[in-house]
């Protein structure tokens, strides 16, 4: 055959090259035809056959409702953002391959987040502490137990095994990262090979933080293990650079997707923090509760954590939508089924009765006034002798307390002193600290091991403070080594330690060990039996080891370095600049460093300029509160607590360092001073006593009592603030002068029974009856967390002048003031105006709520009270030239000789047109020394509200220069 072909070719005289060319052309034609068939004709079919198609339901996130103030000012809203989600959409040949794949993806995502300054979003309760060890971020209790149950896969806390319940943070990370968990780190025969690690993009070694972060991502993913294609959110509000990096590397990031989302944004105003609260990832217990009301909550839902955000959660929470999508094996969306798409529904909008501008201005006024009191009381001395003076009104603030406060309240971070990058000043302070620490440890060791240590009362004040810290703060309160439930406080040895101070700490701890008051599980391996002597030896070693890393004890050492002049106020003040608390650009820095400005003058300057705030120092005073209501409705127009906080830093990706700082801050910014802080009402309660006395027939309009300055019908005698006496007074004069004698007599006569004998219980019962009429024994109904009030149930006669054991919040005093203003109309307070849908349609309106009408009280009683309250204002110079008709009552609540008195003022304004009550006000400055300072604060607030002075003269941005030492109540 081949020969025949050759002959034919030769016959037609074709060259060999021509033949070869024809063959190539023929082959090319066949190849092109085949490619056309594969790519054009059959291309789609082949692609469809190659791709693994999966149909899944994807969540469309809803947006949270907005929050507005009474003037429709937007104070909480949503801003478009991007979130990263993680889902397990792979197929694996083995569990080992699955873990390598998911851990590799998690690690790559972590690197992208870190490179772009973003972080994971989670509510995991394990963090790295300052020493680089795993630690819980919550204390022992329900939250921690619930967390452990979740990690170990139990529905109920009671299902935890003994070992699981006792697991440390290290134990739990080891569980999650080992072969019983997500196989993040394996050892021995199970260890991953270098080839495996390289294939899945994992390093040979992971840092402790990386292990934790991968464990968190895997745990979050496991919560949806029952729904394979349900994604979990692992990072919120990520940057555009993170989004770009994820999209560029999506082929390597199986299961990772970028979704459009929203983050919560609040008005930039610390005054709104305690009121609005903030949002965050729902905990398991929160989800359990919320799902009972709305089963649509997802496991990664963002919910209100405090304030209005929490109270109105069910209104503000939107309803997620969903869409059905077809994706390929890489997770790329191929098709969206529009027919099955359910659009998300935005949450409802909430409108408050609060005026945001008033809220902000009053916050500034409170800050200025507290700073002014603080400045007025600071003196250039080292110490103040409380017992020697024995008078709370004369308490001063030594400048050394101010220096120490910078460290005690963590304005200065002492942990930075030991770092490599520390400044020379910081390194010098740390060197002195190390020397001091060794000296004190030697002393403590001696006291714990010496055969005959001194009794507590024979120790120096410094050593006493160290020993008290060890026993009470560390062993009892922090660690629970001394079991409070086991200690017999009536025991003679306990009394010798706690009261008589006649034994040493060693004697007390030895005795506590012998009486089984010591919980050895904290200091000894589980199951190891120790006798009392062995327990004490173990305890001694444990104490020293613990104190080496205890920040609180370290702060105590710095305090005595300062008090013993081993470090100076100048050293501490300079660190404010070196740690960035203050800017070195200001004029004071060079003068302080050179010695041209003293540390005392420097601190006075910075407090005066509010560059260092009272809340940062957390000395007394450091807080205040004010509540303004509409007297005609009970609507709250301002509810202000100083200090507040920036809720923008707590929502979305929580700034955990900021949260921790707030939680440990001695000024307690999370504790709403307007609704949660309770104190005695002082003389503001005399108005209740007036109603009680007149309604019980003890006094009437024509009753006069002759105040001698001392009420001696009870023991001990009670002195009037005017010890020379007021002379003869009737009810309006007694209110005006705030006469203790007059109201003591009311309380005494109210307790007279039919036999003419005085009965404490009878007197208290009558006072409690009318307190209940004012609803002073109940919460106000305000829609944020509020403490329960307490009407006095002891010391009857003192109770009529606001002493006894009365306890009320500022909000409760504001309702009391409103009831007085309206002649007995008692409202429930409310922060809410209305709720609308996202389109503005009103769904619900919140009207006024009258809970009691004191109609049994005749007009003459109210007239006497109103007249007396008006005369109070007219006789207090703090209100001179106010320019609005104000009636009120002052109060100074005494504590003890170690703490300044609380200053209070309640009152109401009346309309110039109708003479009807307009606004009610309650102001309290905790440890504000005198009611006069509360009056000055109220005066500023009312001038702002009524535009009675130029705003710049009220909101100066500086500590107030005028303070009051007047306490005529």
Total domains, the chain: 4
Q: Do 776 and 903 fall into the same domain?
A: yes
* % the chain with pLDDT above 70: 94
**Confidence (pLDDT) at 59:** 79
Instruction: Quote the radius of gyration of the chain (alpha carbons, Å).
Output: 36
Which residue would you say has higher pLDDT here, 680 or 129?
680
Q: 892 by DSSP, 3-state: which?
A: strand
Q: How many angstroms separate the Cα of 900 from the Cα of each of 402, 669, 800?
A: 16, 20, 22
Within-domain flag for 495: yes
Within-domain flag for 114: yes
Q: Do 528 and 668 fall into the same domain?
A: no
**H/E element, 80:** strand 74-86
Over residues 636-662, the mean pLDDT reads 94
Q: Do 660 and 746 fall into the same domain?
A: yes
Write the CB contacts of 477 (distance below 8 Å, at least 6 apart in sequence): none
Give the pLDDT band of residue 564 (cuts 50, 70, 90). Answer: very high
Q: Do 30 and 94 fall into the same domain?
A: no
**Confidence (pLDDT) at 618:** 98
**Confidence (pLDDT) at 3:** 58
87-96, 684-693, 729-738, 869-878: which has the minimum mean pLDDT?
87-96
Cα 8 to Cα 2: distance, rounded to the nearest angstrom: 10
Of 225, 245, 279, the residue that ends a domain is 225
Within-domain flag for 547: yes
Cα 287 to Cα 281: distance, rounded to the nearest angstrom: 10
Within-domain flag for 384: no
Q: Do 781 and 927 fall into the same domain?
A: yes
**Confidence (pLDDT) at 559:** 98
Within-domain flag for 246: no
- Cβ atoms of 175 and 151 within 8 Å: the answer is yes
CATH of the domain at 660: 3.40.710.10
> Cβ of 272: how many Cβ atoms within 10 Å?
28
Of 166, 196, 225, the residue that ends a domain is 225
- Cβ atoms of 921 and 942 within 8 Å: the answer is yes
Within-domain flag for 666: yes
**Confidence (pLDDT) at 329:** 63
Within-domain flag for 124: yes
Give the pLDDT band of residue 227 (cuts 50, 70, 90). Answer: low
The residue whose two tokens read 């954590």 is 305
**Confidence (pLDDT) at 718:** 96
Pairing of β 378-379 and β 397-398 = parallel
Over residues 331-356, the mean pLDDT reads 88
**Confidence (pLDDT) at 601:** 98
Q: Do 28 and 95 fall into the same domain?
A: no
Pairing of β 67-68 and β 349-352 = parallel
> Which residue range is the domain that position 439 belongs to?
418-563
Query: Of 933, 901, 373, 929, whose CA–CA distance to 617 is shortest?
Result: 373
Query: Phi and psi dihedrals of 356, rounded to 5?
Result: -65, -35
**3-state SS, one letter per residue, for 555-593:** HHHHHHHHHCCCCCHHHHHHHHHHCCCCCCCCCHHHHHH
Of 563, 584, 615, the residue that ends a domain is 563
Q: Do 550 and 652 fall into the same domain?
A: no
Write the CB contacts of 573 (distance below 8 Å, at least 6 apart in sequence): 403, 406, 592, 599, 602, 603
Over residues 889-914, the mean pLDDT reads 95
Give the pLDDT band of residue 534 (cuts 50, 70, 90). Answer: confident
- Cβ atoms of 866 and 671 within 8 Å: the answer is no
Over residues 548-561, the mean pLDDT reads 97
Q: Do 11 and 105 fall into the same domain?
A: no
39-48, 365-374, 600-609: which has the minimum mean pLDDT?
39-48
Q: Do 138 and 219 fall into the same domain?
A: yes
Give the pair of three-digit tokens for residue 696: 């019980």
Q: What is the pLDDT of residues 164-208, one digit of tens each?
A: 999 999 999 999 999 999 999 999 989 999 999 999 999 999 999
List for the chain the helix, strand, coil content (%; round to 5): 45, 15, 40
Residue 837 has pLDDT above 60, yes or no: yes
Give the pair of three-digit tokens for residue 691: 């109603």
**Confidence (pLDDT) at 469:** 98
Give the pLDDT band of residue 76 (cuts 50, 70, 90). Answer: very high
Cα 898 to Cα 394: distance, rounded to the nearest angstrom: 10
* % the chain with pLDDT above 90: 78
Q: Do 907 and 855 fall into the same domain?
A: yes
Q: What is the pTM of this model?
A: 0.89
Q: What is the pLDDT of residues 304-338, one digit of tens each?
A: 999 999 999 999 999 988 888 887 765 667 788 78
**Confidence (pLDDT) at 270:** 98
- Cβ atoms of 623 and 370 within 8 Å: the answer is yes
145-154, 375-384, 529-538, 944-953: which has the minimum mean pLDDT?
529-538
Which residue would you say has higher pLDDT here, 301 or 946?
946
Cα 120 to Cα 135: distance, rounded to the nearest angstrom: 18
Residue 38 has pLDDT above 90, yes or no: no
The residue whose two tokens read 């503001």 is 684
**H/E element, 630:** strand 624-630
Which residue would you say has higher pLDDT here, 529 or 483?
483
Over residues 928-932, the mean pLDDT reads 97
Residue 1 has pLDDT above 60, yes or no: no
Write the CB contacts of 214 (distance below 8 Å, at least 6 apart in sequence): 103, 106, 107, 110, 177, 182, 184, 206
**Confidence (pLDDT) at 337:** 79
Q: Do 897 and 783 fall into the same domain?
A: yes
Residue 223 has pLDDT above 60, yes or no: yes
Q: Do 842 and 699 fall into the same domain?
A: yes
**Mean pLDDT score of the chain, rounded to an integer?**
92
**Confidence (pLDDT) at 742:** 98
Within-domain flag for 733: yes
27-31, 261-265, 778-782, 949-953: which has the minimum mean pLDDT?
27-31
Over residues 716-738, the mean pLDDT reads 97
Cα 363 to Cα 641: distance, rounded to the nearest angstrom: 7
Give 267-289 as a DSSP string: -S-GGGHHHH--EEEPPHHHHHH
Cα 487 to Cα 491: distance, rounded to the nearest angstrom: 8
**Confidence (pLDDT) at 142:** 86
Query: Phi and psi dihedrals of 78, rounded to 5?
Result: -125, 140
Which residue would you say has higher pLDDT here, 446 or 37?
446
């Amino acid at each position: 055959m081949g020969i025949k072909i050759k002959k034919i070719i030769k016959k037609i005289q074709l060259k060999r090259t021509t033949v070869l060319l024809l063959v190539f052309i023929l082959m090319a034609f066949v190849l092109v035809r085949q490619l056309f068939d594969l790519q054009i004709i059959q291309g789609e079919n082949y692609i469809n056959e190659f791709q693994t198609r999966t149909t899944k339901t994807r969540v469309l996130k809803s947006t949270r409702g907005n929050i507005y103030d009474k003037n429709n000012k937007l104070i909480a809203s949503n801003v478009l953002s991007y979130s990263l989600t993680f889902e397990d959409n792979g197929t694996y040949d083995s569990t080992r391959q699955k873990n390598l794949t998911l851990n590799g993806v998690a690690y790559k995502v972590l690197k992208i987040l870190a490179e772009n300054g973003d972080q994971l979003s989670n509510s995991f309760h394990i963090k790295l502490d300052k020493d680089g060890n795993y630690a819980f971020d919550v204390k022992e209790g329900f939250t921690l137990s619930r967390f452990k149950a979740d990690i170990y896969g139990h529905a109920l806390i009671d299902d935890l095994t003994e070992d699981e319940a006792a697991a440390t943070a290290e134990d739990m990370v080891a569980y999650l990262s080992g072969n019983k968990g997500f196989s993040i780190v394996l050892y021995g025969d199970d260890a991953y090979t270098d080839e495996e690690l390289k294939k899945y993009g994992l390093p040979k070694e992971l840092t402790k933080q990386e292990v934790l972060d991968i464990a968190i991502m895997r745990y979050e993913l496991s919560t949806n293990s029952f729904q394979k294609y349900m994604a979990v959110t692992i990072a919120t509000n990520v940057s555009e650079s993170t989004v770009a990096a994820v999209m560029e590397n999506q082929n390597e990031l199986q299961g990772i997707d970028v979704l459009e989302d929203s983050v919560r944004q609040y008005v930039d105003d610390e005054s709104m923090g305690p009121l609005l609260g903030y949002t965050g990832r729902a905990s398991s217990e929160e989800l359990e509760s919320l799902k009972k009301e709305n089963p649509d909550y997802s496991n990664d839902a963002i919910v209100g954590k405090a304030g209005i955000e929490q109270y109105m959660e069910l209104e503000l929470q939107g309803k997620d939508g969903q869409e059905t999508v077809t994706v390929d094996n890489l997770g790329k969306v191929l098709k969206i089924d529009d027919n099955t798409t359910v659009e998300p529904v935005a949450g409802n909008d909430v409108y408050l009765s609060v005026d945001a501008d008033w809220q902000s201005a009053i916050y500034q006024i409170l800050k200025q006034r507290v700073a002014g009191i603080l400045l007025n009381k600071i003196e250039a001395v080292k110490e103040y002798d409380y017992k020697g003076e024995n008078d709370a009104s004369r308490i001063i603030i030594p400048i050394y307390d101010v220096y120490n406060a910078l460290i005690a309240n963590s304005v200065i971070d002492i942990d930075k002193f030991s770092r490599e990058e520390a400044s020379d000043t910081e390194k010098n302070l740390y060197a002195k600290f190390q020397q001091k620490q060794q000296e004190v440890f030697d002393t403590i060791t001696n006291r714990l091991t010496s055969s005959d240590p001194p009794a507590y009362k024979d120790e120096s004040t410094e050593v006493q403070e160290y020993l008290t810290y060890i026993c009470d703060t560390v062993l009892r309160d922090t660690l629970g080594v001394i079991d409070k439930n086991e200690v017999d406080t009536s025991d003679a040895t306990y009394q010798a330690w706690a009261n008589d101070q006649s034994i040493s700490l060693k004697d007390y701890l030895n005795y506590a060990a012998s009486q089984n008051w010591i919980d050895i599980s904290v200091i000894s391996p589980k199951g190891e039996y120790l006798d009392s002597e062995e327990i004490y030896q173990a305890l001694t070693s444990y104490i020293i080891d613990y104190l080496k890393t205890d920040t609180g004890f370290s702060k105590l050492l710095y305090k005595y370095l300062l008090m013993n002049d081993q470090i100076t106020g100048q050293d501490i003040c300079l660190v404010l600049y070196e740690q960035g608390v203050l800017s070195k650009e200001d004029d004071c820095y060079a003068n302080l460093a050179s010695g041209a400005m003293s540390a005392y003058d420097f601190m006075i300057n910075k407090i005066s300029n509010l560059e260092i705030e009272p809340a940062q120092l957390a000395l007394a005073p450091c807080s205040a509160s004010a509540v303004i209501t509409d007297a005609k409705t009970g609507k709250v127009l301002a509810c202000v607590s100083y200090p507040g906080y920036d809720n923008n830093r707590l929502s979305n990706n929580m700034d955990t360092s900021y949260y921790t700082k707030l939680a440990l801050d001695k000024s307690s910014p999370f504790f709403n001073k307007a609704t949660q802080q309770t104190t005695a009402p002082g003389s503001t309660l005399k108005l209740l006593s007036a109603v009680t006395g007149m309604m019980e027939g003890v006094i009437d309009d024509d009753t006069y009592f002759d105040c001698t300055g001392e009420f001696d019908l009870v023991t001990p005698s009670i002195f009037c603030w005017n010890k020379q006496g007021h002379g003869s007074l009737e009810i309006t004069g007694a209110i005006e002068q705030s006469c203790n004698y007059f109201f003591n007599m009311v309380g005494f006569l109210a307790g007279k029974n039919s036999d003419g004998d005085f009965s404490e219980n009878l007197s208290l019962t009558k006072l409690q009856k009318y307190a209940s009429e004012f609803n002073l024994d109940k919460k106000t109904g305000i829609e944020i967390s509020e403490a329960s009030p307490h009407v006095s149930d002891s010391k009857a006669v003192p109770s009529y002048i606001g002493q006894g054991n009365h306890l009320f919040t500022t909000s409760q005093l504001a309702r009391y003031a409103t009831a007085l203003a309206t002649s007995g109309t008692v409202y429930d307070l409310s922060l809410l105006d209305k709720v609308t849908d996202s389109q503005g349609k009103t769904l619900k309106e919140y009207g006024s709520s009258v809970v009691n009408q004191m109609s049994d009280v005749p007009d003459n009683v109210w007239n006497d009270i109103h007249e007396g309250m008006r005369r109070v204002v007219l006789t207090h110079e703090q209100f001179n030239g106010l320019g609005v008709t104000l009636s009120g009552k002052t109060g100074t609540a005494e504590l003890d000789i170690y703490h300044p008195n609380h200053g209070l003022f309640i009152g109401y304004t009346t309309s110039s047109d109708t003479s009807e009550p307009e606004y009610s006000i309650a102001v309290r400055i905790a440890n504000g020394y005198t009611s006069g300072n509360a009056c000055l604060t109220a005066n500023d607030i009312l001038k702002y509200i009524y535009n009675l002075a130029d705003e710049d003269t009220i909101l100066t941005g500086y500590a107030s220069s005028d303070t009051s030492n007047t306490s005529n109540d």
